[in-house]
Amino acid sequence: MFYNQSSWNQEITEAPIRALFSLTPTESKRLIAKAVAVLPEVRQALEQGIVVIGRGTTNAFVVEELTGNKLEPKCDYAAGIIVDGELAAIPAGTRLKPIVLRQGKPANISTAEALQEFREADVLIKGANAVDPDGNAGVLTAGPKGGTIGEALPIIPPRGSILIVPVGLEKLIPSVEQAARAAGIFRFKYSTGLPSGLVPIPNALIVTEVQAFEILTGVKVVPIAAGGIGGSEGTVVLSLEGKTAQIEQALSLVKAIKRESPVGRPSGQANPAAADFNYDAMAQWYTRNPEFKR
């Protein structure tokens, strides 16, 4: 479900005005990260509990907003990536360790160890590869055990802990449920990169650019277009409506995040090109997971 920002439901006593803003994927990541950092659920967990910031390039921006520390290269704060138009993975040896905060301070424990301590008010911030119009999110996984989401799903829903998913509208698809049924590592004969499954993320609070602007400024947001060229691929175009002060605040926010540096390439070599395997899905997957070959 999309994160519900109730401030927009308050009565507007002046005629609203509108603004039209376009955001590149990187600018969107910064915007969404700023919104996640001020969520009351996150602030409470920072004061009294545990916050786990799972891997992902959007979450690299969340790390910066929550800790105040620069994180580079942001691409290495990920496991699976899409680069050169192919599904790939960051080598284990170059992946940055997920950040775990206990009462706002770094805790030298793994995600799995932190999850074992989770209670109702503890927070996992998990990136996603897909979001649909109904507020459902999904994450690609080429790992045989489902990666971080595979560790988290047996714990978060039963304990009633909080799962927050920052995800940009560049990842909007028609239906996460339909996509999950169409995916699966061993279902594919050919693949441009690592064959993957898509795991739906249940009971999560989804934060896109729409919710981010609403959380940070109180405006109402409608996505109206997307796309671009020359480095603006994946750009989203948004119509904002609100009081004059809200729109001015949104404009100041856009000015601050404009020209955000793009996420670079991984520092280590990703998996070999799919063409090297004649696009054979299983040949690519077993090369990365030789212990599972039969």
| Strands of the sheet with 220-226, listed across from one edge | 17-23, 236-242, 220-226
Helix, coil or strand: residue 240: strand
Q: Name the helix (H) or strand (E) containing 131.
A: strand 130-131
What pLDDT is recorded for position 237? 98
Residues of the chain with pLDDT under 70: 6-13, 269, 293-294
Q: Tell me the domains of the chain and their CATH numbers.
A: 26-216 (3.40.50)
- For all residues of the chain together, what is the average pLDDT? 94
Question: Using one digit for the tens of pLDDT, what is the confidence trace for 65-102?
Answer: 999 999 999 999 999 999 999 999 998 889 999 999 99
What pLDDT is recorded for position 100? 98
181-214 as b/e: b if 16+ CB within 10 A: eebebeebeebbbbbbbbbbbeebbbbbbbbbbb
Count, residues in the chain? 294
Pairwise CA distance, residues 139 & 51, whole Å = 20
